Amino acid sequence: MEQIYGVIHAIINLHLKPATGGTLPPVTLKHMGQFTETLHRLHTFITEQQEGNKIKQFFRQSEMTILLKDCQKGMQQAMEMFKVEAGSTVLTDIAKMQKASEDMHLKLLEMISTLSDGTASDNSSSMYHMANNSDKSSNSFSMLPSKPKIFYGRESELDQVVKVLKKDPARLVILGAGGMGKTSLARAALHHPDVAGKYELRIFVACDSVTSSIGVAALIGSYLGLKPGQDLRKSVVQHFSSTPSSLLILDNLEPSWELQESRSGVEEFLSLLTDIEHLGLLITMRGAERPGKVSWTHPFLAPLQPLPNAAARQTFFDIADNIHDAEDIDRILGLTDNLPLAVDLIAHLVDHEGSSSVLRRWESERTTMLSEGYDQRSNLDMSIAISLSSPRITALPGATELLSLLSILPDGLSDVQLLQTGLPIHDPLYCKAALLGTALAYNDDKKRLKSLVPMREHAFLCTP
């Protein structure tokens, strides 16, 4: 623990140094990411020792030994990188750190208070309004995420999304597991000529950092250039009511909707937004359930599935080129189950290390080798962990136990097996519904409950 405190202390001090200007170089960020991964592995090890069942621990002794050695190695590297001396005192500068934090907070409040009532709003919102009628999309182009450059196997889904967005009113939800390509599909639709031609204003808001309807409204308000306030829900609705035809995309809305205490408020806010006839609404969410209180436009888009084999291969070749051993590529793609995020990450590894090296690493590292990024779009374990942290899963211990069981059953389970094999899982059908609702598992064409390879590998390593 002293080593961990020491590294964290060193990182905070490094960030607060005047010479850095609050910005750290990429190499330092990389070391911070590696330290974060070490903490994640250490948490996994401790959880296994405290909560894992004895049978599973017995069969995973060797794996846990390797994991502990990796943790020790990672901590030593972190101490060397951030120049933390063994036995050093880490509490000496706490008062200075607190004072610096308080000063930064006060400066931020002063900056907010000095903003005039109209200047920030006028300047920001002017970025969205049309310069002339000849280019309807120019108003929001600079604020929109780019069109995905590698995009295969979603032609049918894209066509359906565009057709719905061309309707009046247009209200659509893109559902699916984490890493399934929901955001990419939304970005592709956002830049489709038919969509850009219809909506004079297009706004794309990433909602994964907030957990309430008030937070969602605050994010939307910042994009619209509205004056900051405690609750902007009414202001957002009024703004859209008085603007021309608009498309609002709320990406990764599930952190706000998943929480029981905020779900009703989120659904009520969405209902108010959809009362505006000329406002198109497109939402992306993990899982397989749509928010209530909204009349979603038909036909509904089914939750996204893994890519077809041909699309997964083309995605892989666009990243890693078609120069690797064919059998190796088949094995590697088999490890991804055609989950788009996994295909993308493993293709970049193959491009850098070669297919043989990646296959060797997989034998010992599994999904951790695809988890060196710093967010859910570049870190497979982090993406899966976000789904596992869903309130529906954390409130139901049996759901995690069922997922752990699926991790060693690639052929899955039928409902009969769930009910008649005497599994030590309370209310297994309810647990099954939770896994299906969060897209951590799926029913195959024979109605057997299964989980994709990346989810199984993560669950085997990280769940009790």
Per-residue model confidence (pLDDT) at position 167: 95
CB 457 within 8 A of CB 365: no
Q: How far apart are CA 6 and CA 83, in angstroms?
A: 9
Q: How far apart are CA 356 and CA 18, in angstroms?
A: 46
Tens digits of pLDDT across the chain (464 residues)? 667 766 776 777 666 665 555 566 666 666 777 777 778 777 776 766 665 555 555 555 666 677 677 777 777 777 777 665 444 444 445 455 555 656 665 666 565 555 544 443 343 333 333 333 334 433 333 368 999 999 999 999 999 999 999 999 999 999 999 999 999 999 999 999 999 999 999 999 999 889 999 999 999 998 898 988 889 999 999 999 999 899 999 999 999 999 889 999 999 999 999 999 999 999 999 999 999 999 999 999 999 999 999 999 999 999 998 788 889 999 999 999 999 999 999 999 999 888 998 998 888 888 877 776 656 667 788 888 888 888 889 888 899 999 999 999 999 999 888 887 677 888 899 999 999 999 999 999 899 999 999 999 888 877 66
CA distances from 106 to 15, 228, 307 (A): 18, 17, 49
Report the largest interatomic distance among the alpha carbons of the chain, rounded to a whole angstrom. 70
Sequence ranges of the domains in the chain: 2-100, 119-286, 309-370, 382-462
CA distances from 150 to 206, 251, 306 (A): 21, 19, 15
Q: How far apart are CA 146 and CA 141, in angstroms?
A: 9
Q: How far apart are CA 195 and CA 166, in angstroms?
A: 7
Per-residue model confidence (pLDDT) at position 342: 93
Compute CA 245 distance to the chain's CA centroid, rounded to the nearest angstrom.
29
Instruction: Give the contacts of 146 (CB within 8 A, at least 6 positions apart).
Output: 187
Instruction: For residue 53, count other CB atoms closer than 10 A to its CB.
Output: 12
Q: How far apart are CA 175 and CA 158, in angstroms?
A: 13
Q: How far apart are CA 451 and CA 399, in angstroms?
A: 13
Instruction: For residue 422, count other CB atoms closer than 10 A to its CB.
Output: 6
Instruction: Give the contacts of 292 (CB within 8 A, at least 6 positions apart).
Output: 267
According to DSSP, residue 285 is labeled: E
Per-residue model confidence (pLDDT) at position 385: 85
Per-residue model confidence (pLDDT) at position 19: 54
Nearest of 153, 199, 158, 456 to residue 310 by alpha carbon: 153
Q: Which neighbouring-strand residues pair with 449?
A: 413, 443
Q: How far apart are CA 382 and CA 390, in angstroms?
A: 13
CB 391 within 8 A of CB 365: no
DSSP characters over 74-125? HHHHHHHHTTPPTT--SSTTHHHHHHHHHHHHHHHHHHHHHS-TTHHHHHHH
Instruction: Give the contacts of 438 (CB within 8 A, at least 6 positions apart).
Output: 286, 287, 288, 387, 390, 392, 393
Q: How far apart are CA 342 and CA 350, in angstroms?
A: 12
According to DSSP, residue 148 is labeled: P
Q: Beta 279-286 vs 201-206: how paired, if at all?
A: unpaired
CB 371 within 8 A of CB 382: yes
Q: List b or e across 318-350, with b for residues whose CB sees 16 or more CB atoms inside 10 angstroms.
A: ebbeeebeeeebeebbebbbbbbbbbbbbbbbb
Domain 119-286 has CATH 3.40.50.300: yes
Nearest of 280, 112, 77, 317 to residue 198 by alpha carbon: 280
Q: SS3 of 201, please?
A: strand
